[in-house]
């Protein structure tokens, strides 16, 4: 494929006087803004709200070669009822697994309202022929996935073949049918915030319902500045076109405090409208227990030990 221009054909632009800016991002100022938002002091009721919201928006994730139906079933139980001792704790938003484990998850979660998300498109590298990626998606959907987490072709993106990236998103979106599409940018491989912003807009133009930071297999993953950069792009798209795109921060979020910081970013960038699992997700595996510990600490006033929270 020939070198594509920065704005590939089909890039959905509003028919307005003003074009949506690809724009650029100043790294230092972005990082400073993210750091300053991270210093928000979230206490008491506001903290409980945030922690419960974090649970409600969590995609409880396991993406290991060693995943088995038993492991996934246990995780499903955790997602539905994160703290068996406290029925007031809400369920997670979804379980995120490899396609082979979709049927198990589907079965365990039936009727719970917790969704099943499958990674696809040659996750995590995306280094496969497009037709195989599309087939991967179709099969995951057939197995019962409600949501598809695809990866963009970073090789294509970094070599300037933006049109290929865009085309794949379009084809995957089509293959998704009713399933919701989250597009993983793997920001840790993109090198600059300018690229993060560009990839975000490209994915949205291609039809993404959600944009997602990372696979969880590459470091750094969902850093606060990366999240802020993507949230600002999502906000710009909303302001220019009215489209509401979801955002998922995934990878490296292990502590309740980090989750709260991520939620502050969304709250102060996109507002309360985005504080819902329909538009916001946290992808995490070990985060949930820390949130449960913090919640119990808020309720009892006593610091907690991990021994009292189940490992699933």
Partner 1 sequence: MTDIERKRDRTAVPTDWTYAPAPESRDLVRLRERYGHFVGGGWIEPADTYATISPSTEETLATVGQGTAEDVDRAVAAARAAFANGWSSLPGSERAKYLFRIARLLQERSREFAVLESLNGGKPIKESRDVDLPLAAAHFFYYAGWADKLEYAFPNRRPAPLGVAAQIIPWNFPLLMLAWKLAPALACGNTVVLKPAETTPLTALLFCDVLRQAELPPGVVNVVTGDGRTGAALVEHDGIDKVAFTGSTEVGKSIQRQLAGTGKKLTLELGGKAANIVFDDCALDQAVEGIVNGIYFNQGHVCCAGSRLLAQESIHEPLVEKLKKRLETLRVGDPLDKNTDVGAINSKLQLERITELVEAGKEEGAEIFQPPCRLPEKGYWFAPTVFTNVAQSYRIAQEEIFGPVLSVLTFRTPEEAVEKANNTPYGLSAGVWTEKGSRILWMAQRLRAGVVWANTFNRFDPASPFGGYKESGFGREGGLHGLEPYLRFEE
Partner 2 sequence: MSRLPVKKTYKLFIGGAFPRSESGRTLEAEGQNVARGSRKDVRDAVKAARAAQPGWGAATAYNRGQVLYRLAEMVESRVPEFAELCTGRTEVERAIDRIVWYAGWADKLPQVLGGSNPVAGPYFNFTVPEPTGVVAVLAPDEPPLLGLVTRLVPPLVGGNAVVAVASETRPLAAIELAEAIATSDVPDGVVNLLTGLRSELGPVLASHMDVNAIDLCGAGGDSAELERAAADNVKRVVHGRADAQSPWEISSFLELKTVWHPVGR
Query: With CB cut-offs between 5 and 8 Å by kind, which of partner 2, partner 1, none does residue 262 bind?
Result: none
* Burial grade of 140 (CB within 10 A; 0-12, 13-18, 19 or more): buried
* Burial grade of 74 (CB within 10 A; 0-12, 13-18, 19 or more): middle
Kindly write down the DSSP assignment for every residue of 34-84, as one continuous string.
Answer: HHHHHT----HHHHHHHHHHHHHTEEEE---TT--HHHHHHHHHHHH-S-T
Positions 18 through 47 that interact with partner 2 (CB under 8 A): 26-29, 31
Under rule CB under 8 A, residue 157 binds partner 2: no
Under rule CB under 8 A, residue 212 binds partner 1: no
Is residue 206 within 8 A of residue 183, CB to CB? The reply is yes
- Smaller CB distance to partner 1: residue 57 or 285? 57
Positions 88 through 107 that interact with partner 1 (CB under 8 A): 88-91
Residue 32 corresponds to which tokens in the numbers above? Answer: 């400073």
CA 121 vs CA 126, 139, 171, 205, 302: distances in Å: 6, 11, 11, 18, 45
Q: From the candidates 136, 149, 153, 236, which is the catalytic residue?
A: 149
Check if 212 is active-site: yes
Q: What is residue 306's three-state secondary structure?
A: helix
DSSP annotation of 190: T
Kindly write down the DSSP assignment for every residue of 73-101, as one continuous string.
Answer: HHHHHHHH-S-TT-TTSPPPSEEEE-GGG
Under rule CB under 8 A, residue 192 binds partner 2: yes
Only one residue has tokens 């037709």, namely: 131
- Smaller CB distance to partner 1: residue 59 or 232? 232
Of the chain, the end-to-end C-alpha distance in Å amounts to 46
Only one residue has tokens 């139906």, namely: 69
Check if 248 is active-site: yes
Rounded distance, CA 245 to CA 311, Å? Answer: 33
Under rule CB under 8 A, residue 49 binds partner 1: yes
Residue 153 corresponds to which tokens in the numbers above? Answer: 């072709």
- The binder of partner 2 chosen from 157, 193, 210, 280 (CB under 8 A): 193
- Smaller CB distance to partner 1: residue 33 or 212? 33
x/- binding map, residues 81-120, to partner 2, per CB under 8 A?
Answer: ----------------------------------------
Q: From the candidates 115, 164, 182, 248, which is the catalytic residue?
A: 248
Is residue 257 within 8 A of residue 224, CB to CB? The reply is no
Under rule CB under 8 A, residue 16 binds partner 1: no
Residue 185 corresponds to which tokens in the numbers above? Answer: 């940018």
Query: With CB cut-offs between 5 and 8 Å by kind, which of partner 1, partner 2, none does residue 111 bind?
Result: partner 1
- Smaller CB distance to partner 1: residue 114 or 179? 114
x/- binding map, residues 243-282, to partner 1, per CB under 8 A?
Answer: --------------------x---xx---x--x-------
Under rule CB under 8 A, residue 28 binds partner 1: yes
Under rule CB under 8 A, residue 64 binds partner 1: no
Query: With CB cut-offs between 5 and 8 Å by kind, which of partner 2, partner 1, none does residue 191 bind?
Result: partner 2
| Residues designated as active site | 149, 212, 248
Residue ranges that bind partner 2, judged by CB under 8 A? 26-29, 31, 191-193
Residue ranges that bind partner 1, judged by CB under 8 A? 18, 21, 23-26, 28-30, 32-33, 36, 39-47, 49-50, 53, 56, 77, 80-81, 84, 87-91, 108-112, 232, 239, 263, 267-268, 272, 275
């Amino acid at each position: 494929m020939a070198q594509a221009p920065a704005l590939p054909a089909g890039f959905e632009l509003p028919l307005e006087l003003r074009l949506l800016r690809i724009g650029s991002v100043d790294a230092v100022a972005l990082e400073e803004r993210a750091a300053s938002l991270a210093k928000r002091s979230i206490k008491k009721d506001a903290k409980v709200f945030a922690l419960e919201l974090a649970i409600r928006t969590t995609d409880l994730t396991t993406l290991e070669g060693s995943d088995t139906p038993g492991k996934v079933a246990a995780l499903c139980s955790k997602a539905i009822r994160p703290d068996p001792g406290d029925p007031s704790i809400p369920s997670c938003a979804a379980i995120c697994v490899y396609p082979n484990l979709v049927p198990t998850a589907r079965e365990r979660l039936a009727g719970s309202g917790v969704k099943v998300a499958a990674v696809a498109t040659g996750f995590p590298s995306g280094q496969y022929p497009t037709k195989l990626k599309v087939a991967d998606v179709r099969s995951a959907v057939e197995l019962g996935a409600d949501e598809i987490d695809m990866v963009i072709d970073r090789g294509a993106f970094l070599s300037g073949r933006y049109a290929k990236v865009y085309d794949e998103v379009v084809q995957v979106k089509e293959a998704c049918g009713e399933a919701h599409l989250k597009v993983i940018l793997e920001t840790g491989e993109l090198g600059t915030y300018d690229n993060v912003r560009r990839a975000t807009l490209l994915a949205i133009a291609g039809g993404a319902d959600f944009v997602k930071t990372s696979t969880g297999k590459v470091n750094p993953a969902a850093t606060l500045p990366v999240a802020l950069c993507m949230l600002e792009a999502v906000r710009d798209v909303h302001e220019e076109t009215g489209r509401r795109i979801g955002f998922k921060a995934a990878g490296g979020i292990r502590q309740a405090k980090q989750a709260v910081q991520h939620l502050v970013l969304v709250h102060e960038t996109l507002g309360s409208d985005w504080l819902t699992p329909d538009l916001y997700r946290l992808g995490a595996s070990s985060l949930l227990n820390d949130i449960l510990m913090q919640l119990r600490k808020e309720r009892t006033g006593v610091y907690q030990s991990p021994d009292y929270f189940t490992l699933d």
